[in-house]
C-alpha cells in the first residue's frame, strides 16, 4: 500500500468514526444553533449601540456569529479531538506499540484528525450556518471563488489546530496527566481564536497580540476571508507559517520524548 493511500484510508476512518454517532451529531447541531441564536441577539445589541464596531457592519457581525458556531467543532477550539486518545496511549504505555508501526506518528494522527474535521464541518457546521442564513440577514458572498478561498483557509486552520493539540498531547510524556494542559489550551483556544468575540473587537494592543498568535488561524482568519475583510493570500501565508513552525516543533519534541522518556508499563 502506498503511503498516500495509507493516510487517506486513515482520514476516511476518522471521518467514518465520527459519522457513526448520528444522534450525538443531531444533538450537537441543536446546541450550536441555540448558542448561535443567543450570541446573534447579543451581537445585534452591540452593533446597535456601535455600528461598524471592529470594522464589521451588523450583517457581517451576524455572519461571524454563525460562522464561529459552524467552525467550533471542525476547528476543535475547545479541544476534544484525537489528543485525549493520544494522551491516554502515552499514559498507559500503548504509545510504544505505535512507535514500532511502519507509519509516521504525527502524519497518522494528522490524517485521522483531518477526517474528523471534515466530518464536523459537514455534520455540525452546515446546518447551523444554514439556519442562521434563513432567520438572519447575513453577509454571505454569492461568488463561488470566495467560498473556495474560505475553504482553503479552513483547511489550513485545521492543520494549525492539529499542530497545537499535538503539542498538548506530547506534554503527557512528561506530565502523564494531560488534563491541566488540555484545559489551559482550551482557554487559550476559546479566547484567542475569536470564538468568544471577533478579535478585531478586542481593544488596542490586546487585539494586536491575539491576532498575531496561531489561534487566530482557527476562526478569525477563515471568517475574514469569507467576509472579504482580509486578503486571502496574506491569511494563507500567516496560517501556513504557523502550521509549519508548530508541526516542526512537534516533531522535535516527539523525537526528544521518544529518545529520553521511559515508556510506562513496558
Partner 1 sequence: MIAGMWIRSTMAYRASFVMTTFGNFAATALDFVAVLLMFSRVDRIGGYSLPEVAFLYGVSATSFGITDLVVGSMDRLGRRVRDGTLDTLLVRPVPVLAQVAADRFALRRLGRVTQGLLVLAYAIAVLDIDWTPLRLLMVPLMLLCGAAIFAAVFVAGGAFQFIAQDASEVQNSFTYGGTTLLQYPPTVFAKDLVRGVTFVLPLAFVNWLPGLYVLGRPYPLDLPTWIAFTPPLIAAGCCALAGIAWRAGLRSYRSTGS
Q: Which of 92, 183, 241, 255 binds partner 1 (CB under 8 A)?
A: 183
Segment lying near partner 1 (by CB under 8 A), choices 114-122, 164-172, 187-195, 255-263: 187-195
Residue pointed to by grid coordinates 475553504: 151
Report the C-alpha gap between 122 and 140 in whole angstroms: 17
Per-residue cell: 56: 464589521
Task: List for the chain the helix, strand, coil content (%; round to 5).
Answer: 80, 0, 20
Report the C-alpha gap between 60 and 65 in whole angstroms: 9
Residue closer to partner 1 by CB (options 192, 243) is 192
Residue closer to partner 1 by CB (options 70, 110) is 70
Segment lying near partner 1 (by CB under 8 A), choices 3-11, 107-115, 154-162, 178-186: 178-186
Segment lying near partner 1 (by CB under 8 A), choices 1-9, 100-108, 173-181, 238-246: 173-181
Query: Least separation, in Å, of the C-beta of 85 and partner 1?
Result: 16
**Position 174 contacts partner 1 (CB under 8 A):** no
H-only helix segments in 72-215: 83-92, 95-100, 105-120, 126-135, 144-170, 172-175, 179-193, 204-212
**Position 108 contacts partner 1 (CB under 8 A):** no
Query: Least separation, in Å, of the C-beta of 254 and partner 1?
Result: 24
Report the C-alpha gap between 122 and 74 in whole angstroms: 9
Segment lying near partner 1 (by CB under 8 A), choices 64-72, 149-157, 200-208, 213-221: 200-208
Per-residue cell: 76: 476543535
Eight-state DSSP code of residue 227: H
User: CA Rg, the chain, in Å?
Assistant: 19
**Position 9 contacts partner 1 (CB under 8 A):** no
Give helix 105-120 / helix 144-170 axis angle, nearest 10°.
Answer: 130
Enumerate residues 13-72 that contact partner 1 by CB under 8 A: 21-24, 26-28, 30-31, 33-35, 37-38, 41-42, 44-46, 49-50, 53-54
Residue closer to partner 1 by CB (options 32, 111) is 32
Question: Is 233 exposed, middle or buried (CB count within 10 Å of its CB: 0-12, 13-18, 19+)?
Answer: exposed
Report the C-alpha gap between 233 and 146 in whole angstroms: 12
Q: Which of 93, 180, 234, 245 binds partner 1 (CB under 8 A)?
A: 180
Positions touching partner 1 (CB under 8 A) are: 21-24, 26-28, 30-31, 33-35, 37-38, 41-42, 44-46, 49-50, 53-54, 177, 179-180, 183-184, 186-187, 190-191, 196-197, 201-203
Amino acid at each position: 500500500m502506498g503511503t498516500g493511500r495509507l493516510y487517506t484510508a486513515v482520514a476516511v476512518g476518522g471521518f467514518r468514526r465520527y459519522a457513526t454517532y448520528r444522534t450525538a451529531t443531531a444533538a450537537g447541531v441543536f446546541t450550536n444553533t441555540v448558542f448561535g441564536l443567543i450570541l446573534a441577539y447579543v451581537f445585534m445589541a452591540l452593533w446597535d449601540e456601535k455600528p461598524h464596531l471592529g470594522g464589521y457592519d451588523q450583517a457581517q457581525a451576524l455572519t461571524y456569529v454563525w460562522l464561529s458556531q459552524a467552525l467550533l467543532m471542525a476547528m476543535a477550539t475547545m479541544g476534544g479531538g484525537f489528543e485525549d486518545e493520544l494522551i491516554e496511549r502515552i499514559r498507559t504505555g500503548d504509545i510504544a506499540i505505535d512507535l514500532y508501526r511502519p507509519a509516521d506518528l504525527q502524519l497518522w494522527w494528522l490524517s485521522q484528525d483531518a477526517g474528523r474535521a471534515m466530518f464536523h464541518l459537514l455534520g455540525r457546521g452546515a446546518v447551523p450556518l444554514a439556519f442562521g442564513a434563513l432567520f438572519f440577514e447575513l453577509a454571505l458572498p454569492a461568488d463561488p471563488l470566495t467560498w473556495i478561498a474560505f475553504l482553503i483557509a479552513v483547511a489550513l486552520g485545521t492543520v494549525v489546530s492539529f499542530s497545537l493539540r499535538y503539542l498538548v498531547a506530547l506534554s503527557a510524556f512528561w506530565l502523564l496527566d494531560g488534563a491541566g494542559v488540555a484545559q489551559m489550551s482550551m482557554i487559550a483556544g476559546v479566547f484567542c481564536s475569536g470564538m468568544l468575540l471577533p478579535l478585531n473587537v478586542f481593544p488596542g494592543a490586546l487585539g494586536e497580540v491575539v491576532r498575531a498568535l496561531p489561534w487566530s488561524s482557527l476562526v478569525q482568519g477563515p471568517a475574514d476571508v469569507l467576509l472579504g475583510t482580509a486578503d486571502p493570500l496574506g491569511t494563507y501565508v500567516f496560517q501556513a507559517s504557523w502550521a509549519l513552525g508548530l508541526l516542526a516543533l512537534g516533531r522535535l519534541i516527539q523525537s526528544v520524548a521518544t529518545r529520553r522518556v521511559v515508556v510506562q508499563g513496558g
